[in-house]
Structure 1
């Protein structure tokens, strides 16, 4: 009997720790990450239509050039967020002539991700300075993307950085580890409860 009490206590502690770990992991997954299915062709070939993309939720202050972000906009069809790449942030001088590379602060961008190697598409020339607190965005499929180039009259075509909802993940390691933690936590909880149940059952003795 003295042996059973420590076993029951160990089972309860294991179950409680497992449930706590699973709950924390699920909470972090729910609040720190999200996913969405690409509905258009503006970000091909990086993110083709129908692709499921995983994102981390970030603050406006965390957004950097080169990030692919999910952002809200009043002009989006059905109010759905759009997926675009950040080319310039507040204070950046962004320009391009048709057929030439995009330049940021006088330096041409190397953009291996653009579709068909075309960095300009059909957009006219532009030369803007991004207002502070805002972002200049382009799609990777420049010939088929409604982005900052086509609304230059309003705030240099930029969007407020606060409109960013999340940033695309280069690696799924973070959410995968959290999902694994949640699974292991549930398994530990199940093992602990099973251990306690077995201890209680052995205390009752064999059935007659």
Structure 2
């Protein structure tokens, strides 16, 4: 029973205090990343350093001040978008084009909600070093970089604002902690059951031993001797 409780509590503490520094789970709040992520989906994020961010990554980042105006958003609010261009890249689109161009070449985007809507407003931006250009997969319902090209930074966001990148699967460390915690429950229950059973058995054995004790001929087991008086 003690072992089960230790496994359950220990795994829970590990997830709360250790894994929280490297992983985060978040509920998708909007339609902007459909069909990759739909509202209500639970998504794990793996913490990464700015230099580890790559084109195509779906990232969670803190909204900069330039994203606040007119967006119903607060500075620092966590936002989920896909990185389509990084520092030094030129990203562009204009009506009539089948898709975006990256550094003058067509950009393949198989993840789009609607391939016929690669953007809703024309843009042509060269991303400054240390920044990124982000767009949602549901371009007709995503207030992202391409709708903010007139803002400070031309819609780009510092790569340092990224907290983490989405994981396709539950991280191994988290899965292990959940498994250990889950194993602790049956161990605790089995241990508790065995402990209670052992206690009941001991009590029954003691009672049987008392009932079987010799009392002498003609003397009932419940009788007692009165104190003699001189």
TM over 0.5, shorter chain: yes
The number of residue pairs the alignment matches comes to: 196
Contact 1:71 1:165 in 2 (8 A): yes
Contact 1:12 1:192 in 2 (8 A): no
Q: For structure 2, which runs of at least 5 residues remain unmatched after alignment?
A: 208-230
Higher relative helix content: 1
* CA distance in structure 1 between the aligned counterparts of 2:161 and 2:182, rounded to whole angstroms: 34
Shift of 1:55: 1.7
State the Cα deviation string for residues 144-171 of structure 1 (Å, max 9, x = none).
2111112224223111112122221111
1:1-208 correspondence to structure 2 within 5 Å: 20=10, 23-73=13-63, 74=65, 75=68, 77-79=72-74, 80-98=77-95, 99-126=97-124, 128-153=125-150, 154-174=152-172, 175-184=174-183, 190=188, 207-208=206-207
Residue 92 of structure 2 aligns to a residue whose secondary structure is: strand
Contact 1:56 1:166 in 2 (8 A): yes
Contact 2:119 2:146 in 1 (8 A): no
* CA distance in structure 2 between the aligned counterparts of 1:82 and 1:96, rounded to whole angstroms: 23
TM-score by length of 1: 0.74
TM-score by length of 2: 0.68
Residue 177 of structure 1 aligns to a residue whose secondary structure is: helix
Shift of 1:25: 4.4
* CA distance in structure 1 between the aligned counterparts of 2:26 and 2:14, rounded to whole angstroms: 23
Question: Which has the larger Rg?
Answer: 2
Cα 1:64/1:182, change in 2 over 3 Å: farther
**Runs of 4 or more above 4 Å deviation:** 11-22, 185-188, 191-195, 204-208
Flag the structure with more relative contact order, 1 or 2, with Cα contacts below 8 A and sequence separation at least 6.
1
Which segment drifts farther, 130-139 or 48-57? 48-57
* CA distance in structure 1 between the aligned counterparts of 2:52 and 2:112, rounded to whole angstroms: 24
* CA distance in structure 2 between the aligned counterparts of 1:131 and 1:207, rounded to whole angstroms: 83
Shift of 1:87: 0.6
